[in-house]
Amino acid sequence: MIEFVAHQLQVIWPFVAVGFVAQLVDGALGMAFGVITSTLLVSILGMPPARASSMVHIVEIFTTAASAISHTLHKNVNWHLFALLVIPGMIGGISGAYILSNIHAETSRPIVMTYLACIGVYLLWRGWRMSKQQIHRTAKFAAPLGLVGGFLDAVGGGGWGPVVTSNLLVQGSEPRITIGTVNTAEFFLTVVISATFIVTLGWEAFTLATIGLIIGGLMAAPFGAVLAKRIPAKQLMFLVGVVLTLTSLYSLARALKLV
């Protein structure tokens, strides 16, 4: 019995670590859980890409719920902005999931990744130039952004955070509130998209590794919300730019089969 438990712990702990790291970054910066998790699972742990992708979708139901609760408790959520994002985001997610089952969308991925990499560089520049007295503006194009972000998230297997968070920041929205609001809305989007995949593929992705990712993600969720609240806006903007640029360039290289 002891040997069995020890063996299970040995199997599960790498996935706990992956889930913790990915959710810590996502909770603090509003993006990259799917990209980081998939990259670590495939590149480091040697998991097949298709299995890694289905597993990430299941895990995000739990991690986004925990992240949403944490950001809400730390008052990182603008509920007016949330309302503008969540319904269009769910509509876009449902549409994307439906189209994904009928149309191969890999041809659009390099274009989207190039665009996000350019946004990441722009945010680096904005973060570098931002002053402590920076005046934040209310985003004017939240609802259309939610629709597009939800659609791309479903079609591309990820992208809600990079697309929505980065574009809201470009419009001048406050980084802490933007990250908290986008993460909170993401829970509802994830439930809709994940439900579609569960109905289509079943619960095959729900394995011991999935449980490890969930445990790690749930452990990290409260810390991500605290970091988003305490890191100054200038540094937060710069960090978002770094993560978005690096992950987008990596995804672009994979889409072009360069790595």
**Structure confidence by residue, pLDDT tens digits, 21-65:** 888 887 777 777 776 777 677 656 666 655 666 677 778 888 888
Identify the CA nearest to 116 among candidates 31, 6, 231, 225: 31
CA distance 17 to 122: 31
Q: Quick one: pLDDT band at residue 193, thresholds 50, 70, 90?
A: confident
CA atoms within 13 A on the CB side of 230: 6
Identify the CA nearest to 235 among candidates 156, 136, 145, 130: 130
**Residue 13's pLDDT is what?**
84
Under 8 Å between Cβ of 47 and 53: no
* Per-residue pLDDT tens digits for 105-163: 556 567 666 766 776 777 677 667 655 555 556 666 788 888 988 887 776 556 687 77
* Per-residue pLDDT tens digits for 63-104: 888 888 888 888 889 898 899 999 999 998 888 777 765 655
